Structure formats: structure tokens, C-alpha cells
Amino acid sequence: QVQLQESGPGLVKPSETLSLTCAVSGYSISSGYYWGWIRQPPGKGLEWIGSIYHSGSTYYNPSLKSRVTISVDTSKNQFSLKLSSVTAADTAVYYCARQQGDILTGYFSPDDAFDIWGQGTMVTVSS
Amino acid sequence: SYVLTQPPSVSVAPGQTARITCGGNNIGSKSVHWYQQKPGQAPVLVVYDDSDRPSGIPERFSGSNSGNTATLTISRVEAGDEADYYCQVWDSSSDHLVFGTGTKVTVL
């Protein structure tokens, strides 16, 4: 079955760039679906960061857009998140997830629900 | 930007029905998805496209959406349903995805 696994540093210094990767197993990213990043600060709710299609088309949260880059590497079957100029407010559990689509019709949309999630990785911004 | 408002908490006795609302401007025109999140775990999709259930989700979970309110209904509530629940939509006017504020369901 499809599995997602986040990886990256658990501690990032203020003003530096947070970099995370989501490795996908059990499915080839190049075959379809939107793939997204979501974060959750301690004790708070979910915040969408952005989504990417296998072709590289992206959508970003307007509140983070100036600092976010999401990219896909089909050769490694993974997608990545970069968040620049981080502050303590960026401390959160970061999740990667797949957005369900219709594999039979080949219809995929950024408004699809997140049906498969990674376990999440905690990133702390601190000096 | 588009805002989704949920009640912070809902309390329900075992065996009763819990209703969690998600309010948004003309939300009835959008597809609403619902997630369950237990402490220390990743969210789990329980309802998508207003009222469809993923495989493996009990029939006790159902959804509806009309006007300015979407509702997740949990029938015959069990202790294991105690969790945080989030609604989610896509705002096509600004091309971005929005999560609701979240509702903590407590089983008495």
C-alpha cells in the first residue's frame, strides 16, 4: 500500500531555511495525484502549506507563499518542502500527504481530500 | 481569505449522536472533507466530498452540507471517537486550501 515518510532536521536556527523531504513508497509519483504539506503548531490546528502535482504545478498558502518552495523529484519518488527565513512561529509538526483523486479517469484536483498521511515530523526553530 | 468556523468543543454521552458544524460563506457550494485526529497521531480522513466515506470508516460517520453550514454526524458514539475533528475545503476564488478551526469531541 501507499506510504509516506517525512525526513529532515528536527532543529533549525532562526532565519535559516527549513528543508523536509517526503518519500513515497507503493506508488509512482509520476503517475498522478496532488501531494501536499500540512503543519500543526503544538496545541494548535492544521495549516495547509501547499500542494504539488507530479508535473510540478504548485499551489501555496498565500500567508506563506513568499517563503515556501515545494518541488517534486520523480526519479527519487519524493517531494520536498523548503521554508525560508524561519522563526519560532514555524515550530510545528510537519505532515506530508496525498490528495485522493480518480485514478480511473485520471482526474486529479487540488481540492481533493488528503487520504494518505505521513506520520509527521516535529521541527523546532531555536538557536 | 475564506474562513471555516467550528465550535471548539462538543461533548456527548456514549451511544448518543454528536454533530460537529463547520460554518463558511456559501460552503454548500464547495466540497467539504472531514478529518479525525487523535493525540499524537496524524489526521485520518473520515468523510470526503460532503458525505462519502473512505473504505474502513464506519457507517456511524456521515456528513451533510447546505447553505452556510456543513455538518459531520457521529451516530452511536463510542469512547474511541474521542478526538479532534477538522473540516476542509478548497477556496476556488483564491486557489487555496483551508482547514477549519477544529472541534474537540469529548465522550462523557
Q: What is the pLDDT of residues A10-41, one digit of tens each?
A: 999 999 999 999 999 999 998 889 999 999 99
Q: A115, B88: Cβ pair inside 8 Å? A: no
Task: State yes or no: pLDDT of A101 exceeds 90.
Answer: no
The percentage of residues in chain A with a pLDDT greater than 90, rounded to a whole number, is 87
CA–CA distances in Å: residue B41 to residues A8, A48, A95, A102, A118? 19, 17, 11, 26, 10
DSSP-assigned states of every residue in A97-124: EEEP-BTTTTB--TTS-EEEE---EEEE
CA–CA distances in Å: residue A42 to residues A21, A52, A59, A115? 21, 25, 25, 23
Task: State yes or no: pLDDT of A104 exceeds 90.
Answer: no
Ramachandran sector of residue B56 (left: φ over 0; alpha: ψ -120 to 50; beta: rest): left
Question: A108 touching B, CB under 8 A?
Answer: no
Distance, in Å, from the CA atom of A78 to the CA atom of A28, rounded to the nearest integer, reads 9
DSSP-assigned states of every residue in A68-80: EEEEEETTTTEEE
Q: Kindly list the residues from chain A whose CB atom is less than 8 angstroms away from the CB atom of residue B29.
A: none
Q: B99, A95: Cβ pair inside 8 Å? A: no
Distance, in Å, from the CA atom of B77 to the CA atom of B60, rounded to the nearest integer, reads 8
